[in-house]
Structure 1
């Protein structure tokens, strides 16, 4: 099985890292895919978009030095939202937006697990939920390219196309002349699901090394909260938004730690439980 380090020499993987693995992503007024030669014109995004992969690869590499190998597939099986019912979510844009983020985060874990069927399933769900939010299927063009890359067993291209799927959804999910509230909901779903994976992995491997400091990240919470709090009243009234704001406000002080500070085990468990409860409350 190929490791992430193998792909560092691949130009496809380098592009995929730019799109998918950064912990903070933004969209500029005009995004250009240097590999495909296509140009997408998008209104500027200023909201930081969280993605768990970069941080989790850091955790993986540190634990590897201690002789610990993370079973990404097992963590996916334990935490991924694989049983979401699109028909039950239909018509509730708050839950749909949140679900898009959750499944994008699941897709990131499936990438680390190198599980092609799980990658495809997460991408299909994210596309379907985005479609129910009004994004035309033909506007998410990377879905077919992803399936082709999976068929070809081209892992560099798989990373890249998953990154483009995220960009395509986030660039079109909001009426960006008014607000970024739906983008914030997607980001919230992605961040909470990512923190569930991270706390699970850190807790399971605390005996090898205490990596609780890797959960530090109040800036992302502040950015999401800022957008949700200034959202139109009809958006603020959605249960998904109310639940998201409430849990982010609880989590912010727990992850607001100094660069060299650790999170005690009881608070680590609390972070995981709060993220899990909120995710289940929104989606179920």
Structure 2
């Protein structure tokens, strides 16, 4: 199952098009995309039995974030061995967690304003919670996942690394538009192996990052088990699961985002996002 934010309304992908969920369900489910996650089990049962035909075509210009207002946004640092090596840091013994504030979420094809500083790219697989999770075991964790989507953990490195310690990770990664996700949410059953997907990004046509999520140090179930041992995970929460090697900040010379760039971000079995960047007055 694939769900969409189509022109601000919850939609279900069907064949080569989509249906408006509020209309198709006779009002059982609201048009508000975010409202579906607290009803995820009920919605998934309805969608599995839906046999209608598409009523609209999918125009990528109408696609928004499939989770537009997440209650919480978690992100995992240093979750690929080669990324830890390029950063010159030891492998973590447990998931290294920071946050991106929910107001940083944007859609898969939006223009993003570059703040002053050094803005970097980080392709990530994003897990979306569909069922409240507290003290979840690793072998139960996938039962709490609504689906997966593509994400970018955009980062302004100068603010992120500003002292004194601790570094300003949360602020440097939470400018408006710095958490783009999309183009859809795909349920785990759609993948041959949701723990091993190719992901990557291209910057103005040049491949910058490419890896498989099977290379992660901590898998999605391990991350959910760790997070839920500390606090409840809520329906609609986002978990950015970490980025592989190839970031611009670690290159020599550095390759950072500029106003002429196009950033294409993809994950196998989900799709791709495309972003262009504009500058802001200093």
TM range (shorter): under 0.3
Structure with a larger share of its residues in strand: 2
TM-score after normalising by structure 2? 0.24
Structure with a larger share of its residues in helix: 1
